Amino acid sequence: MLYDVQIPIVSYVVKQTTKMENSLRSLNFTQGAISTIIITVADIFSFILPFLVGAILMFNGQIGAGTLVMIVQLSNDFINPVTMILDQINQIRSTKPMWDKVDRSLNFTPNIEASTSLSFSHLSLDKVSYKRNDKTIFNDVSFSLNSGEKVLLTAPSGWGKSTLLRSLIGQLSPTSGKIFINDENISGDWNKAHDYFGYINQRPFIFDRDLAFNITLGKKFTDSELQEAIKQAGLSKLVDEKGLDYPVGQNGANLSGGQIQRVEIARAL
């Protein structure tokens, strides 16, 4: 959402999820079919044939009624294959709720608007407070920031720095107070706020794909734009050595912690 890459990200996830769902469907169907066949065949040989033989023997007077009743009682076990069939059908259909979610993603229609070049001049917070579950995270925070200025927010861990940043980009709505960009109230308004920000996460999410995808997240950029972001983020050496098609591994296993952070900086740029 932050970088407006819902379409390429959803497309990538849908492809992987489709493979998973098809495999799961095939697995459930195969398990159900094989299990039912095995149980049915076992019951034929362990119950039906002995029952028929017992009935014939009783008709010929070779066994008594009690013995046949015992055989009839055992016939209740024949319901087990039917129960198993129903159980396996239920397992096959158990993928439906997951598939419904994927289907909604497949039919996702983005609200594409013409991109505009935003001009930032002023940010201000007016007595902004935020509470979560009746716990005050921060209270009466006020400051202003003009274009070209830098502000350092410092506080011990758990004192609401990240919560404040999430409020600035519109992910959270302040409990009280207002946030202004260019004198426009953007409090809790994601669509108005997030395009003004490049946000560098402390723990970036890294896809098990190549370096280029992890920088662009599937969004289209010119080569010059991409190379400029790589240069400013300090990734030039890695790209020169490994190339943009370098597989970074699951959770960035093939990258150092610093390189992962630089990938996130390049994303923001």
Domain boundaries, the chain: 6-106, 122-196, 211-268
More confident residue, 181 or 74: 181
Instruction: Supply the mean pLDDT for the chain.
Output: 86
**Percentage above 70 pLDDT, the chain:** 91
Q: Is the pLDDT of residue 39 over 90?
A: no
**What is the pLDDT at residue 109?**
80
Cα distance between residue 162 and residue 2, in whole Å = 15
Reported pTM: 0.59
Assigned token pair, 159: 């004192």
**Mean pLDDT, rounded, for 154-162:** 89
Q: Is the pLDDT of residue 99 over 90?
A: no
CATH, domain 122-196, list 3.40.50.300, 2.30.30.90, 3.40.50.980, 3.30.540.10: 3.40.50.300
What secondary structure does DSSP assign to the chain, as a single string? -TTS-HHHHHHHHHHHHHHHHHHHHHHHHHHHHHHHHHHHHHHIIIIIHHHHHHHHHHHTTSS-HHHHHHHHHHGGGGHHHHHHHHHHHHHHHTTHHHHHHHHHHHT--------------EEEEEEEEEEETTEEEEEEEEEEEETT--------TTSSHHHHHHHHTTSS--SEEEEEETTEE-TT-HHHHGGG-----SS----SSBHHHHHHTT----HHHHHHHHHHHT-HHHHHHH-TT-B--GGGTTS-HHHHHHHHHHHH-
Sign of CA dihedral 101, 216, 162, 191: negative
**Mean pLDDT, rounded, for 69-92:** 70
